[in-house]
Structure 1
Amino acid sequence: MKRLLMGLTLAVSVMASGIAQAQETKTLGIVALIANDALNIEVIGGATEEAKKAGWEVKVIDTQASADQANAAMKSFATQGVDAIFVLAFASSSISSGLEAAKDAKIPVATWGGEIVDGIVVTTSGLTVGEDSVKYLLDTVKAPADILAITFHPGKLCLDRGVAFEQGVAGKEGLDITYNEVTVPGQVQNGNAIASAFLTGHPEGGNPVAIWSCWDEPMQGAVAALRQSARTDVTTVSINGSRQALQLVKDGDLTATVWQPAFEEGKAVFQAILESQAATGTWTPKVIEIPGVVVTKENVDSFLAEHPNAQ
């Protein structure tokens, strides 16, 4: 009987230890703009790698670019009692009810491409890569020129990049800018339709023509439209530096993409979450800015050699 009691005591102790360890496991809830988008995948990968190193679990909810779904996801994570929420590419103003739910649950929120408001401990900026893209475009295409700008205002990163584009072309004489908002889901197909219509109205032989896109996927559709119309006179510039875009640059089908180090941004954001939790009330919210790289036909091989994970 004594041995039986000792065995039962040991079993209970082991079970209690296992329960305690399970309770200690923290969870990061990620709210993705578009979970299968190349850059979303990269930033989720960076945050996940760092979280797992720290012993955290990671849960991802795909919102398909819906602010309503983003707020619902944040409320769900708040109800679950996750330890931090990471929201990708939504403007802070569009996730106010989700932020309120997180605040009530005392859960810190980080954003990738959002504004610092109450409840957000860290974010990233999309302005820098946007500025790089428009600078390259204007250095390459001289006025008078006709430029198609493919925008996406629901995505905060695209919104910031669009602001950078507008500021870059402001006051420049001889530029005829056509703005067109892409739809999501279906951004590749819609990018193709937008570019096809623009090319029809801007035939070869007139002013120099260019297409700028706030991220790579609509540009993939635009490149297909260029192939379909056998146009080789159009300068094309997009942002993200996805594997597909880098291959298009390498093949000579895309003039330039501005690579954004999303994987590193994901890692940096998670580290900032940990630092904010350790700060115990003394944390000052911060904006992370990691410089990008303009990748062209001239430097794509050296870029890929230096960044093998980008392939």
Structure 2
Amino acid sequence: MKTAIFSALVASALVATASPSLADDGKLLGIVSIAANEANNVRYINGAKAAAEELGWDVDVVDAAGSADQANSAIQNFAGRGAVAIIDMVFPYSSIGAGLAAADSAGIPVVTWGGGLGRSVASTNGSGAPIAAPVIDKMIADLNGKGDILALTYRTGEVCRNREVLLDEKLKDYPDINVTKNEVRIPGYLEDGAQYANAWLASRPPGDENLAIWGCWDDPAIGAIGPLRQQGRTDVEVYGVNGNAQALENIRRGHMTATAWEDSYTEGYDMVMLLEKIIDEGDAWEPKAVEVPAILVTQDNIETFLKEHPDAYGN
């Protein structure tokens, strides 16, 4: 009798363990984010959720908190749960090999937001370098070919890594522009931006030198604005990338020079809609990038931009 009861309990436990996969019913979209609360990530996720709702898919978002190990584990977990598709944000494909292998073995397509094309990745968008290009070009022009830049970088994410490479390439022709690089953390990018800016400013008092702070995305640069305002430093230009609401507000108030607005909501929406086609085509699908162009936003065009894109100010 005891054996029968024990066997029944074990069977019940196994059913309970298996139930998440059964509940998913092949319509689970797994999203692995590098920082799920960061504004641009939020916009992308919201766009992806909107498209998934239209398709009748459930969505589960995992915040990997900047850890490639956590991202791999999350992708493997989604593969084990029988997800219909998985989105990687924005870990490079080279960092999620274990996850990609698990998904590939299960026949589940993986697409990336800024993670690049490679291995078994089916598609990508939000690639870092093209979006950052107009901001970097403006910063170099504003410096008139000479001065100092504090570059706030992040090398775990493919997007920021590619933006840093682009910055280096564009500065090769400007030997009189010096660059100090500091890598921020996720989480902790706002605090790091402020700390690195404070240290950098200490050896660069106001004068005739051209100075600029560049974040490989908006938030580290926004973190640097605090020390600038506290010290009354109006001689330093500040540049970001992605165009989140806080960056746009800082541009409007004159605290930030420029950003490149990335329509990440549309990127998320379009990628999920593309996933349906990727699934339908199966082995016939050819991997490709599906980029959405960025818009350069400056103090000169901020009001016009906000009139044309009122939703950008609210997310």
2:118 equivalent to 1:109: no
Conserved? CA contact 1:43–1:263, under 8 Å: yes
Q: Which residue of 1 aligns with 2:294?
A: 292
How far does residue 228 in structure 1 lie from its aligned partner after superposition? 1.3
CA drift of 1:173 comes to 2.5
Which residue does the alignment assign to 2:7?
A: none
Consecutive unaligned residues of structure 1, counting only runs of 5 or more, are 1-20
Is the CA contact (8 Å cut-off) linking 2:214 and 2:239 kept in structure 1?
Answer: yes
Alignment of 1:136-147 (within 5 A): 136-147=138-149
Deviations 1:79-128 (A, max 9, x none): 11111000101010000001111111111001001221232111121111
Name the amino acid aligned to 2:270: A
| Counterpart mapping for 1:240-255 below 5 A | 240-255=242-257
Secondary structure of 1:284 counterpart: coil
Asked whether the equivalents of residues 130 and 162 of structure 1 are also in contact (C-alpha less than 8 Å), the reply is no
Deviations 1:231-288 (A, max 9, x none): 0011111101000100000011001111111111111211221111111321111112
Does 68-77 or 135-144 show the bigger shift? 135-144
Letter in 1 for 2:27: K
- In the alignment, structure 2 segments of 5+ residues that lack a partner are 1-21
Cα-to-partner distance string for 1:49-95 (whole Å, 9 max, x where unaligned): 11111111100000101000000101111111111000101010000
Contact 1:131 1:168 in 2 (8 A): no
Say if 1:25 and 1:57, in contact at 8 Å, map to a contact too. no
Q: 2:223 aligns with which of 201, 221, 224?
A: 221
Deviations 1:149-173 (A, max 9, x none): 1110001111111111111111213
Aligned match of 2:48:
47
Distance 1:52 1:163 in 2: 37
Counterparts of 1:188-227 in structure 2, within 5 Å, are: 188-227=190-229
1:269 alignment partner in structure 2: 271
Matches for 1:1-311 after TM superposition, within 5 Å = 26-124=27-125, 125-311=127-313
Of all paired residues, the percent bearing the same amino acid is 39
Task: Kindly provide the CA deviation profile for residues 203-235 of structure 1, in whole angstroms up to 9, marking residues without a partner as x.
Answer: 110411011110111111100110111100111
CA distance in structure 1 between the partners assigned to 2:162 and 2:290 by the alignment: 14
In the alignment, is the contact (CA less than 8 A) between 1:141 and 1:235 conserved in 2? no
CA contact (8 A) 1:30 1:88 kept: yes
Taking the aligned partners of 1:73 and 1:41, their CA distance within structure 2 comes to 18
Which amino acid in structure 1 is aligned with residue 52 of structure 2? Answer: A
What secondary structure is seen at the aligned counterpart in 1 of 2:86? strand
Alpha-carbon contact 2:91-2:158 (below 8 Å) kept: yes
Give, in whole Å, the separation in 1 of the partners of 2:208 and 2:179.
Answer: 15
Distance, in Å, in 2 between the alignment partners of 1:28 and 1:259 is 26
What CA distance in whole angstroms lies between the structure 2 residues aligned with 1:101 and 1:24?
A: 19
Q: Secondary structure at the match of 1:71?
A: helix
* Partner SS state of residue 159, structure 2: helix
- Runs of 4+ with >4 A deviation: 21-25
Distance 2:97 2:221 in 1: 31
The code of the aligned residue for 2:206 comes to E
**Matched residues, number:** 291
Measured in 2, the distance between the counterparts of 1:160 and 1:130 equals 9
